[in-house]
């Protein structure tokens, strides 16, 4: 019969290394409490005897915390990890969480429909940071990130009772539309993002639109409409496209449809830089000069908007800062309250300053 090797405890290791149990625990969990040299020596000796840290499950029982935050993303994980805006948000969040010895568990909103999986995930985390919440996606009203008693922070959306971190979506859209309308275009089209509950590229009907409070896209649409109204213009629903996902293929399709209308738009108001880049590319492929015949504007300020030619006039949003603020609120390093971060108009080639200003 094989002899079972006794698993080392924190006390066993402390006795072998002739230090306190607190010193061993700090080496793994609170490195700021030890000198770098002492911590490195302890970790090396622990590795040599086959000890890899205090038991996480036991620590969770003692403290009531797991050291894990659930990150609920609005789209499939594969899409979110390739989206430049979501990427920057995760980067900012990770910076703060890593500094405070916290880990992330990435979740999809579709997980909420799997009750067993949800219960398991809920027990693994200390709370949730919900990014881009779309109420229509979450069919399970008992999803743990909708529980008002949990530690929940909302980003790029709104859930009643939870503090939210957003950017100036309506104001930013208004400012960039006012800038673009100074060119006095005779016709305008809007390439919107996830305005409707459908996976199709299509025109909109106003009665199908989502609630503005929970949708950053609707807020941007309202900003565009305010600027248009002040210029004595309007864009009817048949000149507003719904693009269900922020990707090049769908945006390119919508742009080609808009640019083949009988009354071709001279301005495309795009709700993301990815959409704006696809629209400018579609125009160039169709022999439409940008910005001479068509002005194009975006939103987000992703790096590609600057390197693409013609470079995209856009609204820069503080995506990394948004992640940092959300993580700080979650960890109690910042007062949990609604925050709206400033945006900035960045004027580039696709829609320069109008000569008539």
Choosing among 3.40.630.30, 3.40.1120.10, 2.60.15.10, 3.40.50.2300, the CATH entry for 68-166 is: 3.40.50.2300
Q: Token digits for 246?
A: 């922020």
Question: Picking from 129-138, 157-166, 266-275, 284-293, which range would have the lowest pLDDT averaged per residue?
Answer: 129-138
pLDDT at 3 over 50: no
Question: pLDDT, tens digit, for every residue of 166-177?
Answer: 999 999 999 999
Q: Is the peptide bond before 310 cis (omega within 30 degrees of 0)?
A: yes
Q: pLDDT grade, residue 107 (50/70/90)?
A: confident
For residue 2, the model assigns a pLDDT of 39
CA 18 to chain centroid, in Å, comes to 47
Question: pLDDT, tens digit, for every residue of 89-101?
Answer: 999 999 999 998 8
Question: pLDDT, tens digit, for every residue of 111-165?
Answer: 555 554 555 566 688 899 999 877 655 555 667 888 878 899 999 988 888 999 9
Q: How far apart are CA 246 and CA 186, in angstroms?
A: 27
Q: Locate the DSSP E strands across the chain.
A: 68-73, 103-107, 128-131, 152-155, 164-167, 188-193, 202-203, 240-243, 267-270, 295-297, 314-317, 339-341, 343-346
What is each CA distance from 11 to 16, 24, 48, 108, 276, in whole angstroms?
9, 9, 17, 40, 60
The fourth-level CATH superfamily of domain 168-317+342-346 is: Response regulator (3.40.50.2300)
For residue 148, the model assigns a pLDDT of 78
Q: How far apart are CA 76 and CA 286, in angstroms?
A: 33
Q: How far apart are CA 114 and CA 157, in angstroms?
A: 23
Mean pLDDT, the chain, as a whole number? 87
Best CA proximity match to 311, nearest among 273, 271, 255: 273
For residue 24, the model assigns a pLDDT of 85
Question: Picking from 14-23, 28-37, 69-78, 178-187, which range would have the lowest pLDDT averaged per residue?
Answer: 28-37
Are 10-54 and 168-317+342-346 in the same CATH fold? no
For residue 4, the model assigns a pLDDT of 42
Residue in the structure block whose two tokens are 């900003």: 223
Residue in the structure block whose two tokens are 């590609």: 304
Q: For the chain, which residues make up each domain, given as ranges?
A: 10-54, 68-166, 168-317+342-346
pLDDT at 17 over 60: yes
Tell me the average pLDDT across 20-37.
Answer: 81
Question: pLDDT, tens digit, for every residue of 298-308?
Answer: 999 999 999 99
Q: Please, what is the Cα angle at 231 between 270 and 240, to 5 degrees?
A: 30
pLDDT at 285 over 90: yes
14-21 contacts at long range (C-beta below 8 A, 24 or more positions apart) = 16/49, 17/42, 17/45, 17/46
| Cα end-to-end distance, the chain, whole Å | 90
Residue 98 CB coordination number (10 Å): 12
pTM of the model: 0.80
Fold of 10-54: 434 Repressor (Amino-terminal Domain) (1.10.260)
Q: How far apart are CA 73 and CA 324, in angstroms?
A: 16
For residue 161, the model assigns a pLDDT of 87
Phi-psi region of 131 (alpha: psi -120 to 50; beta: other; left: phi over 0): beta
Residue 356 CB coordination number (10 Å): 7
CA 272 to chain centroid, in Å, comes to 13
DSSP letter for 209, please: P
């Amino acid at each position: 019969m094989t002899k079972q090797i006794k698993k080392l405890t924190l006390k066993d290791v402390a006795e072998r290394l002739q230090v306190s149990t607190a010193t061993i625990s700090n080496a793994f969990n609170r490195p700021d409490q030890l000198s770098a040299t002492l911590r490195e020596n302890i970790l090396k000796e622990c590795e040599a005897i086959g000890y890899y840290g205090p038991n996480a499950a036991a620590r969770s029982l003692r403290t009531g915390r797991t050291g894990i935050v659930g990150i609920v993303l609005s789209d499939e994980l594969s899409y979110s990890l390739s989206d430049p805006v979501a990427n920057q948000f995760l980067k900012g969040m990770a910076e703060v969480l890593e500094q405070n010895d916290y880990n992330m568990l990435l979740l999809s909103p579709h997980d909420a429909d799997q009750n067993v999986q949800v219960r398991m995930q809920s027990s693994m985390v200390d709370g949730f940071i919900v990014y881009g919440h779309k109420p229509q996606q979450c069919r399970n009203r008992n999803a743990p990130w909708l529980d008002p008693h949990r530690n929940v922070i909302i980003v790029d959306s709104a859930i009643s009772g939870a503090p939210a971190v957003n950017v100036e979506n309506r104001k930013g859209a208004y400012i960039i539309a006012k800038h673009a309308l100074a060119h006095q275009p005779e016709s305008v089209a809007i390439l919107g993002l996830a305005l409707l509950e459908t996976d199709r590229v299509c025109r909109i009907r106003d009665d199908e639109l989502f609630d503005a409070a929970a949708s950053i896209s609707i807020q941007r649409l309202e900003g565009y409409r305010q600027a248009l109204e002040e210029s004595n213009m309007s864009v009817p629903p048949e000149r507003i496209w719904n693009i269900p996902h922020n990707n090049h293929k769908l945006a390119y399709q919508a742009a080609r449809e808009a640019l083949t209308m009988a009354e071709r738009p001279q301005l495309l108001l795009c709700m993301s830089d990815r959409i704006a880049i696809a629209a400018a590319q579609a125009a160039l492929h169709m022999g439409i000069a940008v910005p001479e015949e068509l002005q194009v504007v975006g939103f987000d300020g992703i790096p590609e908007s600057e390197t693409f030619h013609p470079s995209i006039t856009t609204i820069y949003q503080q995506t990394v800062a948004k992640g940092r603020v959300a993580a700080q609120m979650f960890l109690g390093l910042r007062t949990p309250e609604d925050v709206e971060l400033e945006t900035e108009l960045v004027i580039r080639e696709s829609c320069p300053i109008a000569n008539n200003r």
